[in-house]
Structure formats: C-alpha cells, structure tokens
Chain A
Amino acid sequence: MNLRRSAQIGIQKMTVQQIHIDPKLAAILESVSDPEIPVLSIMEMGVVRTAEIKNNIAEITITPTYSGCPAMDVIGDDIKKAFAAKGIEAKIDLVLAPAWTTDWITPKGRKALEDYGIAAPLEPEADIEALLGNKKLVKCPQCGSQNTKMISQFGSTACKAFFQCQDCQEPFDYFKCLK
C-alpha cells in the first residue's frame, strides 16, 4: 500500500444514486483509458459516476470494478493528468454504492473488449454455466467459435476468467459477469 496515494484517493461518500456527468467534462473523461484494457475508456467501462465543476475544481467520483482493483489508483492519477493538461484541477473520490456491475459497460465498450481479444460478459445464468458447468457458451473473440473451454475461473486480473478456443487454439480472457 502506498501511504501517499491512499491519502489522495479514498472513500468520502458512500452512495451516488444518480449518474451526473457534466457534458463539458465528458470529452476529457473519454480520453482516459482503463490501464488494464487500453482500448476502453473509463466512460465506456461505466466507472465514472459523477463529474461536475465546483469552485473551478472538477469533482469526479469513480466506482471500483472490484474492491482490490489496482487500476483504480492509476485511473485516479490519469484523470488528474488529463484535466491538468486542460488547465483544470481535479479532485477524485471513490464511491462504493451502488456497486459496479458489468451491465454498466456500454455497447461500444463491449465491442472494444471483443476487438481487443477479451470476450464480453454473458448474462448471470449463462456465466455460471460457462464457469462451473463446462457449457460452451463463451465465444472466442478471435475466430467466433463457441467451441471453447474454461482453463481457470480467474484470469490475468480478478475480473476475468481464462479460456481457450478448441478450434483456433487461441487462449483468451473472458470478462466475468458481475451483478
């Protein structure tokens, strides 16, 4: 744990019921990408909850995908840098409720995941069948075949499972459903 950083980004308020993003700030936030998945902006990922200018400071709240996601600290820093480049000071807070769900990944975001080689999340029931029931439901993002096999319930990060295509043999990550 980084002493200085944890003082910077922390949980201030717990709940943000309403998503509220100032359209003027949205463009800057669009330019910040998820460090683990560089093709995906944090807006497409659905982690930005509120963004507004108050007293000349951009106040941004983001929500973690997973509690321990190490990308959150990096995302906080990257947002600050993106705003600093536009001459705006940004203040970042983490919020936990309502908890992030893979439903918040936008359709554009899902497409970006697939293009990047990560299979997008299935619906909860299909997700359980694919992960525990050995059902062939996850499509290979390389060749599109559904003849795939789970290698590990946990993949390169906590949010993903590891699969392999039985047709093109390519191993790939599957973004697990989180609801």
Chain B
Amino acid sequence: MTLRFDIPEENLASILAKAFGNRSFLAGFIITALVAAVAIVSFFWTPYDVTRLIIADKTQSPSPAHWFGTDHFGRDILSMIMVGARNSIAVALVAVGIGMGVGVPLGAFAAARGGLVDEALMRLNDLVFAFPALLSAIMITAIFGPGAVNAIIAIGIFNIPVFARVARAGALAIWPREFILAARAAGKSRTLITLEHVLPNIVTLLLVQGTIQFALGILAEAGLSYVGLGTQPPMPSWGRMLFDAQTRMVVAPWMALFPGMAIVVTVLGLNLLGDGIADILDPKSRRQR
C-alpha cells in the first residue's frame, strides 16, 4: 500500500521513452485511448440509433449486421456499448475530480499542520472508510433518488478519503527533505511551500491513485446502474444493460457477455496504465530488485 516515489529528474523525452518501453504502460495506454476514442466517436456516429426501438429486430444473435447482437427492444448492442462508454467515463472522471479536488487539499493540509488537525482529519477519514463505499452509494441514491448525478456524488465522496490519505502520506515524506528546510529558512509560509514544493512532488502518486480510482469508479457506476440506482434508461449504461440481460440469459446470452467485456477491458486498461505509471516512476522497481 505504501507508494514510494522519487522526484523524476529526467526530462520529458526520456520519461516518454521509458513509458513506451514499459509493457504495462503501453498496453494500458493503448486500451484506455481506444475506449476514450470509442466514447468520443459515439458523440458523432454509432452503427445504429440507440434511441430507436425496433421490436422486429429484438434479441438477434451477433451477425455481420449487428456485431454484438441486439437487445430485447431491437437496439444494437455495439452502439449501446459505445454510448455507454461515454457515460461510464463521465461518471468516473467527475467522481475522481471530486475526490482529488477535496481530498488532496485536505491531505496536504493535514501533513503541513500535523498535530491535532492531522489527527482529526485522519479520524474523519476512518469514519468514511467505515462505510462500505457501495453500501453508502446505495444509501445516498436511495434517499436522494437514483440517477447519474447522485451516483457521481456518492462515488466522489468515497474518493475523498482515499486521495486525502495518499496526499498526506506523500506530503509527509516530502516535508523532512532538505529543499523544504531551505524553503522554510527562506521564510516561505506552509501554504506556499505546499503549493510550490510539496504538491509538484506528489503529482505522480496522485496520478497513479487517480487511475486506480477511475477504474474503481467505472466498476461502482456499473454496479449502481445494475441495481437500478445509477444511470437511468433510456440513457444506455453498461450496468443497466447487464440488468436487462439477466432475465434473458437463456435466450440472449450475448446481451450479458458484451457489456461485461466492455467493463473488464476498460478497467483492465486503466489498471495497467496505473501500474505502468507506478513502475516508471517508482525508483524501487526501476532498480529491478
């Protein structure tokens, strides 16, 4: 769990060279870029219109006309997966944004101040961690109503302590360094030091955690939509597609197969990307011990 890091002293070109020499990063980058591209393309073009129901074409098995088959309303599964990608990415991305936006300042603040402030913030973290994320997301959406926005908020809240913890741990490792001492001797305030010296040095840590939380966010959104509390129909979402598939497993197993594979591929890509970034920037694994 303890992420170690070092300040990258190389220039951008050498980092990039190393990045694309890393198998995990390369695979993760390609998959993630592909998923993102599919999501972007879905804004302009999908093989079929996902809002049109053609009952005559319902539950058709995969064919050249419908690569991934059709669902119980005759909608093209491939087109729905494309639009669903857009939705999954948006929810997970905003949830990561919430987590970072609130969590990182909290964690950095706790590390800069130490003492009681630190202790209090960490206890608050314990509190949020005591609520299993999915359970609380269910509670939040149950109370405030289902929907993509509430799903984002629910997932985002549980990203906050994760980023607070990572930012604090990272910042605590930076504070005893000599260049911080120099900055303090120069009379800079704790806030300024945090902004100018601490945060730039923990960016990579946050990036790694960001990809992990992004992947978890996609899983969480799918879970919430699957139980009917996330994205609402008619907006296609991967989780909702799996819900629709469940009662039709015998007649149309492809309805369950392809949306699930879309989730697996996306999450796998993000995790590989995160692992790759950690590998490249972690001096311990760089030494190949």
Same assembly? no
* Interface residue ranges, B against A (CB under 8 Å): none
Q: Which A residues are closer than 8 A to B by beta carbons?
A: none
